[in-house]
Amino acid sequence: MDTLLVVDGANVVGSVPDRWWRDRRGAAERLRDTLADRGTEAVPGPVEIVLVVEGAARGVEPVPGVRVESAPGSGDDLIVELAAGAARSGRPCVVVTADRELRHRVEDQGAGCLGPRSVRRPG
C-alpha cells in the first residue's frame, strides 16, 4: 500500500522567504511542480503525494504525480481529515509541515511528520 504523503502547502511555501506572498497561487504551483519532479527521498517506497492548498492558492490544478486538494476552509482541518482517513484504512500517512499544532493533531491520527526541508531541498 502506497504511503500517503500530505504536504501542507501554505506552511511549506511560507518556510522560504522568496516573496511568495506576492503570488500565493504561483508559489503553490512551483511547490507542486517541485513535488512532481523530485518528490521526497525521506519517505521510502511508493508514495501518493497530496498537496493541500487554501486561500488564494485554491484552484491550483493537479499534475501527474501530485494530487491537489483545495481546502474549502482551513487547510489544517483538511489535512487532519486526510490523515484520519488513511488511519481508518490502515494506510501509512506522513504529513509535511512545521506547524506544531497540526503536527500534534495528525500524530493523534497515527500519521508521521516531516519538516518542510524534506521537500524544499535545493537543486
Average pLDDT, the chain: 90
For residue 123, the model assigns a pLDDT of 47
On whether the CB atoms of residues 50 and 77 are closer than 8 A, the answer is: no
What is the rounded distance in angstroms from the CA atom of residue 63 to the CA atom of residue 122?
Answer: 21
* Tens digits of residue pLDDT in 47-105: 999 999 998 899 999 999 999 999 998 999 999 999 999 999 999 999 999 999 999 99
Report the residue count for the chain.
123
What is the rounded distance in angstroms from the CA atom of residue 112 to the CA atom of residue 43?
Answer: 10
What is the rounded distance in angstroms from the CA atom of residue 68 to the CA atom of residue 30?
Answer: 13
% of the chain residues with pLDDT over 70: 96
pLDDT tier at 121 (50, 70, 90 boundaries)? low
Inter-axis angle of helices 100-107 and 75-89, nearest 10: 20
Residue 122 has pLDDT above 60, yes or no: no
On whether the CB atoms of residues 115 and 28 are closer than 8 A, the answer is: no
